[in-house]
Amino acid sequence: MNFDELKECTRCGSDACYRQEVTKDISIEMCYGCGFQSNSLMKKGNEFFNDQSETLPELYKALMDEEEETGKVWMPSTINVEDKGMVFADGNNKDNWKWGAVKAVNLTNEEIESKRYPEDQTVKMDMANIQHFDSEKGFMDALEVIGFYED
């Protein structure tokens, strides 16, 4: 029986934590208050956690939080909406980071003709015009920049 619910985030206390039960044993949590995510498999020593950790950027590893009571690990989210933009943790280290928001822009004819992009790609992320928002509390503002809440 799968279900979705909005609940209080056990990491930051926000009331904007979306929880989805995937199976009886697996659930996913995405907090729109702090921008961090977790799931029932994200525990240190778990094979899933180890596999995920291998591919993460160093900043994401440094920002991971482990809940004392449950051992569940939270990490920053990356939101990528192809035709709108991307939101991600951006910075040098745990003490110096912010949420980055970049809008998607259409590829120019020159870029398409250059063959640097896959044939079916029509947009790219505009990294030259990145906007930064204070860590954690700025996540929803960053999502607004890319039009995440718009249809």
- 60 and 8, same domain (yes or no): yes
Give residue 46's pLDDT band: very low, low, confident or very high (50, 70, 90).
Answer: confident
Tens digit of each residue's pLDDT (9 = 90 or more) over 52-85: 889 999 999 999 999 998 899 999 999 999 899 9
Confidence check: pLDDT of 16 > 80: yes
- 11 and 53, same domain (yes or no): yes
Nearest to 99 by CA among 87, 81, 83: 87
Residue finishing a domain among 55, 76, 97? 76
What percent of the chain is predicted at pLDDT more than 90?
A: 82
Work out the angle at residue 54's Cα, subtended by the Cα atoms of residues 79 and 134, and round it to the nearest 5 degrees: 40
* DSSP letter (8 states) at residue 107: P
How many whole angstroms separate alpha carbon 76 and alpha carbon 98? 11
- 13 and 28, same domain (yes or no): yes
pLDDT at 2 (0 to 100): 56
Phi, psi at 107, each rounded to 5° = -70, 145
How many whole angstroms separate alpha carbon 71 and alpha carbon 131? 33
Residue 113, CA atoms < 13 Å, CB-side half-sphere: 3
Q: What average pLDDT does range 97-109 have in this prediction? A: 97
In a domain, 151, yes or no: no
* Structural domain count of the chain: 2
Contact 144, 133 (CB under 8 A): no
What percent of the chain is predicted at pLDDT more than 70?
A: 98
How many whole angstroms separate alpha carbon 151 and alpha carbon 29? 23
What is the pTM (predicted TM-score) of this model? 0.90
Residue finishing a domain among 52, 76, 100? 76
Residue finishing a domain among 41, 76, 111? 76
Domain boundaries, position 109: 79-145
Tens digit of each residue's pLDDT (9 = 90 or more) over 21-43: 999 889 999 999 999 999 999 99
